[in-house]
Chain A
Amino acid sequence: QKEVEQNSGPLSVPEGAIASLNCTYSDRGSQSFFWYRQYSGKSPELIMSIYSNGDKEDGRFTAQLNKASQYVSLLIRDSQPSDSATYLCAVRRGGTASKLTFGTGTRLQVTL
């Protein structure tokens, strides 16, 4: 079982729709959860971080965490073509000096 699992996609959504990206993790000791966006040939860019159960909203992005189900998701509202990228889920067990474990990413395509 992979430590962090994501559907590789591609996930295709029309412009203006809601994109829903999902991630499950195996380590129940994980404390911190992150979503990164990575454009082709570029390094990852942090979009959202979430540390406690529930929802966290930032602009068009909402992260949802359910530690009991070991599940974290990212919703992108009003999807734009510029949102087309690979979205990486990452988890961390300890503090900020601890390592991140990444999923393989979900490729999102926002169509016109």
Chain B
Amino acid sequence: GAVVSQHPSRVICKSGTSVKIECRSLDFQATTMFWYRQFPKKSLMLMATSNEGSKATYEQGVEKDKFLINHASLTLSTLTVTSAHPEDSSFYICSARDQGRDTEAFFGQGTRLTVV
């Protein structure tokens, strides 16, 4: 099946620094990738939809200047958490859709971000 690789799996950073999370589709091209955030014992909340070659579409309440999304190629999307604060600590998950097979999106392994 299709593989979506997300890196890093865990990261600890200091308040005020920025963290970049990568999401790669390894064996297919993904024109659309989705970024989610999940707090403990809560469901996945969609943050933004990332489209290759264009600006991401952010969900209501998500600060686009804080959560920078870049989808520069058909196999890579990045999420940068800028000026991170402890309340940004969460599990961030990406998913990617195989446009060629029009299948459902596959999830990456997730990134556990802890801001200290």
Contact = CB atoms under 8 A, between A and B. Distances in A.
Nearest to A4: B43
Q: How large is the interface on B (under 10, 10 to 19, 20 to 34, 35 or more residues)?
A: 20 to 34
Contacts of B102: 96
Interface of B: 6, 31-32, 34, 42-46, 49, 91, 93, 97, 102-110, 112
The DSSP consensus for interface residues of chain A is: loop
B42 A96 contact: no
Contacts of B109: 42-43
A49 B93 CA distance: 20
Contacts of B31: 97
Q: Which of A34, A44, A103, A104 has the most CB of B within 10 A?
A: A44
B42 A104 contact: yes
Interface in A1-49: 34, 41-46, 49
B108 A43 contact: yes
A49 B45 CA distance: 20
A42 B110 contact: yes
Contact of B104 (A34, A42, A105): A34
Contacts of B104: 34, 46, 49, 96
B112 A41 contact: yes
